[in-house]
Each structure stands twice: as C-alpha cells, then as structure tokens.
Amino acid sequence: MINRHREDTIAAIITPLGVGAVSVIRVSGAGSFQATDSIFVGKGKIANSKSHTVHYGKIVDEKENKIDDVLVSLFRSPHSYTGEDCVEISTHGNPFIAKKILQLLLQKEVRQAEPGEFTKRAFLNNKIDLIQAEAVADVINSRTEASLLGARNQLDGLLSQKIEGLRSMLINASSFVELELDFAEENLVFIGYEELQQKIDRILTEINDLLSTYSFGRVIRDGVNVALVGKPNVGKSSLLNYILKESRAIVSHIPGTTRDVIREEVSIDGVLFRLYDTAGIRNSENEIEREGVTRSREAVKNADIVLFINDVEQGFSNEIYSELKNLTNSDRIILILNKIDKGLKNNLKEGIPISAKTGQGIDALFKALKQKVFINSNYTEKSAIIANFRHYQCLKKTKEYLLNAKESLKNKLSGEFVALDLRNAENSLSEIIGVVTSDDILNNIFTKFCIGK
Ligand SMILES: Nc1nc2c(ncn2[C@@H]2O[C@H](COP(=O)(O)OP(=O)(O)OP(=O)(O)O)[C@@H](O)[C@H]2O)c(=O)[nH]1
Ligand SMILES: [Mg+2]
C-alpha cells in the first residue's frame, strides 16, 4: 500500500474553456483551504468549515476588487476526489473570470495542475486503482452509449475485481511453492504436481477468456471500422448517404465516381461505426482512379468489417470476392445485394438484399453489422472486458509466465524456477491495477488526460 501522498497544492480550471453557465476551478492539496480563504470573502472561513458544505461569497483580488460571486464547495481529506483537502470554486461561466481566479490562486502557494494530476493523486492516495484511473479518461472520451457503458464498468471496478480474483488465485498457487522452498531441507511437500498444474490451468483459462474479449472491447471503446467495397456503380456511395441520412458522397450513374476514401461516423444502437466509402474496384487506365483503387484495398485491410456490395442486376462478382478474401479474414465480410427495388433478376441466394434507394433491407444490414461486433463476445453489462492495449499486454505477459511455469513443472525443474515464473506472472498481473508500477507507466497514462482531470 502506498501511503497518503503529501504534496504541494495544485489548481486548474476543470470545465471547458468557453462561455457557459458555470466554470469550476479545482484546488487540491494541504494548502487548498488557506489559499482559497486568502481570496474569498464569505460568511466564515473555509478552513473552519465542515466537509461537503457549499459556501456563497465573492472572490476578490489583492486590491479587494470583486472578481465574481461564487460558490465554494469543500471536501476534507480523505473524502474528496483526490483524497486530499480539496476545494471547488464555481463561477459564472466566463473563461476570463475563471482564468483570473486561477491566476490569483497561483500567486499563493499553489501551482497549476498538470494533465491528469488530480486523478493521479486519487490513484496515489488509493482512492482508485490504475484501471479505474484509466477508465476516468475513457468515460470522458466516450462518444457512444456502448463505449460509455464499457468505461463505466471499469470505473465501477468490474475489471479490477476480476484481476484481483486472478491475483489471489495466483498468490494461492505460488504460496505453496514458496513454502516448499522455505522447508526445502525438511523435504516437505505441500502441494502435489498435479494439483499445482490444475491451479495454473484454471488461471490460464480465465486469462484466455479475458484476452479473447479484447477485440470486442477495443471496438466498443474506439468504434468499428467498416469498409464499403465492390465494383464501380454498385451503390456504395448511395448506401453511405442513406445511412448518414445526408448527401455526403457524390452519386452518379457513371462508374468510377468515387476516387478518394470518404470516412464518416455513425452510431447505430449505441455502437460507433466508422464507415469508409471507397472507389469501385476495377482495372483502370486512369491514374487517379488507379490510386483510388489502391486506397480501397488499404481500407479493406484496415477494416474490422467489410461490406461487399453487389448490384443485383450485374450479379455477384466472384473475382472481387476472392480478392477480398486475400486481403482480409473471410468472416469479416458481409455480402450485400443492392438495388433490390429493381426486382431480383438473378438467382442470387447469398447476401443481404437491400436498396440504398428505398431503404429496404437496411435494418437487416444493421442487424448483421451488430452481430459481427457482438459475435462470441458473450457480452453482458456485467462482464469484465479488456479494452485497453496496456491491460492486454500485461495479461499476455502473465500468460507467458504461467506457460513457463507449466513448462518448468513438466520438466521437473527445481521449485525455484517455478516460483520465479509464478512471481513474474503475479507482477505482470499487478501492473494492470497498479500495485507495482514504474513512474514511466504512470506518466504515460496521466499525461494523456486533459488538464483539470
Ligand atoms: N434503383 C436503384 N439505384 C441505385 C441504388 N443504389 C444506387 N443506385 C444508383 O446506382 C448508380 C451508382 O450509384 P453510386 O452510389 O454512385 O455507386 P458507387 O458504388 O458509389 O459507384 P462508384 O463510386 O463509381 O464506385 C447511381 O445512379 C445510383 O442512383 C438502389 O438501391 N436502387
Ligand atoms: Mg461511389
């Protein structure tokens, strides 16, 4: 456990810098009450007030000029966001007022907070673990319901609990091995080979389950890349426009209309989809179109899902289908038959029939998209999922050490090797929640925050 963190007092404007109803300045650290009292005139002193109370008064500058009427909320350590003495000053929502008040504070024994420093202090004071600290950034950055839900789950500790559980299983297993080492001279056996093997296997199963949630977690957090591809003129741009409900891309009866990749975002039932309309794939003499087609192929490679669009009249393009299967995993591809409003002229059995003109079949298309995202995810609101690359890497390292431990056991290596592997595994696991973390890791995480968080 890290002890409560005694540091200097910091302050920052924690609301967006613009005109709004209110702006808030947060001050945190042992000197926050004193610093606030030196610029605040109210009924009593903040330093003498109870925690979780709100005080009306005015902020004045060094010449006693009134800057603004404010509300000061105070939180006494450890019952605050950071775990330290903390003050939040709400002013009228004018960036000049907020900046002026911050400046006044900075003339006292207060310094400007660095990005993420409040949350970093919350972590260092054991208010939250590292997973939860990272989730704070995710909650702020979430743009869809699904990503918010995922981030909220993390903040509420779902993943932390899961990792803690795995950690105690691991500590349990390694304690037997360590005991045997301690009593090596007496030749005592505390755990059988098979039993230890089983314990490790059980942890590995859980880790594998968690690792398998990463691709899903990532798309929930960052959005799903969807490429719209096919021959020229099949209606890719028309479909993009229909989904966006606006005339975003140029549509024409002339094949080869779209040359550049057009990217737009849309939220479907709370999941963020990033749609890439591309140039129709064909051999072209035109240099610009050829470059467009190269970009289409790139878009396919980078896509989580590929909508392979065909014109119901022209029929299914086997040639492009095999090309797509060379560029991406075939279970990422959804077959679409467009222009169904013209009537089914071919005996095409595969593919989702749609019309980018009338909107027919678009619901089925959305359903297929969502199915691809949620496939094998077993996702419920109460699932712990991995959505962060750092967590993913730590878990993978843990898994490798556990596999090493199994290998050492199998080869009947001395208990010291097994113990070392298990200790390393536990360290990697602990890194996720921040039981052991280097300054580099911490800085890396917190500098990505915005100022004031
Ligand atoms: N009847 C009918 N016409 C459609 C449908 N979708 C697209 N079209 C027409 O097909 C033609 C080509 O549409 P686009 O959306 O430009 O096709 P594209 O696949 O983007 O073509 P390129 O950009 O050239 O590769 C236009 O004349 C559209 O109006 C549809 O569902 N039904
Ligand atoms: Mg187009």
**Sign of the C-alpha dihedral, residues 148, 149, 152, 158?**
negative
Ligand 1 proximity of 256 Cβ (cutoff 6 Å) = yes
**What gap in Å lies between CA 411 and CA 304, rounded to an integer?**
41
Determine the residue of 228, 231, 238 to mutate for testing ligand 1's pocket, defined as the one with the most ligand atoms within 8 A of the Cβ atom. Answer: 238
Ligand 1 proximity of 258 Cβ (cutoff 6 Å) = yes
Chain centroid offset of residue 286 CA: 42
Choice among 75-84, 355-364, 396-405, 431-440 with the minimum mean pLDDT: 431-440
List, as one string, the DSSP characters of 172-209: HHHHHHHHHHHTGGGT---S-HHHHHHHHHHHHHHHHH
Q: Helix/strand/coil (H, E, C) string of 54-70?
A: EEEEEEECCCCCEEEEE
**What gap in Å lies between CA 128 and CA 433, rounded to an integer?**
9
> Dihedrals φ, ψ of 352, to 5°?
-90, 120
Is the pLDDT at 401 greater than 50? The verdict is yes
**What gap in Å lies between CA 402 and CA 406, rounded to an integer?**
6
The structure tokens listed for 349 are: 């059995």
Q: Are 270 and 145 in contact (CB under 8 A)?
A: yes
pLDDT band at residue 140 using 50, 70 and 90 as cut-offs? confident
Is the pLDDT at 7 greater than 70? The verdict is yes
Q: Using CA positions, which residue lies closest to atom 3 of ligand 1? A: 339
Is the pLDDT at 261 greater than 70? The verdict is yes
Burial (Cβ within 10 Å: 0-12, 13-18, ≥19) of residue 339: buried
Question: Which residues have C-beta within 8 Å of that of residue 189, sequence separation ≥ 6?
Answer: 180
> Is the pLDDT higher at 138 or at 122?
122
Ligand 1 proximity of 282 Cβ (cutoff 6 Å) = no
Identify residue 275 by its one-letter amino acid code.
L
Percentage of the residues of the chain whose pLDDT score is greater than 90: 59
| The pLDDT value given to residue 37 | 97
Q: Are 145 and 151 in contact (CB under 8 A)?
A: no
**What gap in Å lies between CA 400 and CA 422, rounded to an integer?**
10
Summary mean pLDDT of the chain: 88
Nearest to 341 by CA among 354, 329, 330: 354
> Dihedrals φ, ψ of 22, to 5°?
-140, 155
* CATH code, 139-213+384-433: 1.20.120.430
Ligand 1 proximity of 356 Cβ (cutoff 6 Å) = yes
List, as one string, the DSSP characters of 145-180: HHHHHHHHHHHTTHHHHHHHHHHHHHHHHHHHHHHH
* CATH code, 222-374: 3.40.50.300
pLDDT band at residue 172 using 50, 70 and 90 as cut-offs? confident
List Cα–Cα distances, 199 to 86, 168, 452, in angstroms: 45, 11, 44
For residue 215, how many other CB atoms are within 10 A of its CB? 16
- Apex CA 386: angle with CA 380 and CA 392, to 5°? 160
The alpha carbon of 236 and the centre of ligand 2 are apart by a number of angstroms equal to: 5
Determine the residue of 243, 251, 277, 320 to mutate for testing ligand 1's pocket, defined as the one with the most ligand atoms within 8 A of the Cβ atom. Answer: 251
Choice among 43-47, 162-166, 178-182, 226-230 with the minimum mean pLDDT: 178-182
Question: Closest-lying ligand to the alpha carbon of 362?
Answer: 1
For strands 9-13 and 22-28, give the pairing. Answer: antiparallel
Give the position of tokens 């993390």.
154
**Sign of the C-alpha dihedral, residues 252, 254, 260, 265?**
positive
Ligand 1 proximity of 418 Cβ (cutoff 6 Å) = no
Q: Using CA positions, which residue lies closest to atom 13 of ligand 1? A: 235
The alpha carbon of 372 and the centre of ligand 2 are apart by a number of angstroms equal to: 24
For residue 423, how many other CB atoms are within 10 A of its CB? 17
List Cα–Cα distances, 249 to 238, 252, 261, 335, in angstroms: 8, 10, 10, 22
The alpha carbon of 236 and the centre of ligand 1 are apart by a number of angstroms equal to: 7
> Is the pLDDT higher at 144 or at 429?
429
Whether the bond between 115 and the residue before it is cis, its omega within 30 degrees of 0, is: no
Q: Are 215 and 236 in contact (CB under 8 A)?
A: no
Mean pLDDT of the region 182-203: 78
| The pLDDT value given to residue 378 | 59
| The pLDDT value given to residue 157 | 83
Choice among 186-200, 270-284, 416-430 with the minimum mean pLDDT: 186-200
Is the pLDDT at 348 greater than 70? The verdict is no
pLDDT 10s digits, 375-389? 655 566 667 888 888
Q: Using CA positions, which residue lies closest to atom 30 of ligand 1? A: 339
| The pLDDT value given to residue 380 | 62
pLDDT band at residue 115 using 50, 70 and 90 as cut-offs? confident
Ligand 1 proximity of 237 Cβ (cutoff 6 Å) = yes
Q: Are 137 and 453 in contact (CB under 8 A)?
A: yes
pLDDT 10s digits, 402-438? 999 999 888 888 788 888 999 999 999 998 888 766 6
The alpha carbon of 56 and the centre of ligand 2 are apart by a number of angstroms equal to: 60
| The pLDDT value given to residue 1 | 32
Indicate which atom in ligand 1 lies nearest the CA of residue 253.
27
Edge to edge, what strands does the sheet with 86-92 contain?
40-42, 53-60, 66-75, 86-92, 22-28, 9-13, 110-112
pLDDT band at residue 4 using 50, 70 and 90 as cut-offs? very low
> Is the pLDDT higher at 150 or at 361?
361
Question: Closest-lying ligand to the alpha carbon of 241?
Answer: 1
CATH 3.40.50.880 is the classification of domain 9-127: no
Choice among 51-55, 240-244, 342-346 with the minimum mean pLDDT: 342-346
Is the pLDDT at 58 greater than 60? The verdict is yes
Q: Using CA positions, which residue lies closest to atom 10 of ligand 1? A: 235
Candidate ranges 39-53, 176-190, 330-344; pick with highest mean pLDDT? 39-53
| The pLDDT value given to residue 178 | 80
Is the pLDDT at 6 greater than 60? The verdict is no
Q: How many CA atoms lie within 13 A of 451 on its CB side?
A: 12
pLDDT band at residue 3 using 50, 70 and 90 as cut-offs? very low
**What gap in Å lies between CA 276 and CA 261, rounded to an integer?**
6
Q: Are 377 and 349 in contact (CB under 8 A)?
A: no
Question: Closest-lying ligand to the alpha carbon of 234?
Answer: 1
Percentage of the residues of the chain whose pLDDT score is greater than 70: 92
The structure tokens listed for 231 are: 């021959």
> Dihedrals φ, ψ of 320, to 5°?
-70, -35
Q: Which residues pair with 320 in a beta bridge?
A: none
Choice among 41-55, 106-120, 318-332, 341-355 with the minimum mean pLDDT: 341-355
Q: Where are the domains of the chain?
A: 9-127, 139-213+384-433, 222-374
**What gap in Å lies between CA 256 and CA 246, rounded to an integer?**
21
pLDDT band at residue 2 using 50, 70 and 90 as cut-offs? very low
Q: Is 266 helix (H, G, I), strand (E, B) or coil?
A: strand
- Alpha helices, H only, 14-129: 32-37, 95-106, 117-124
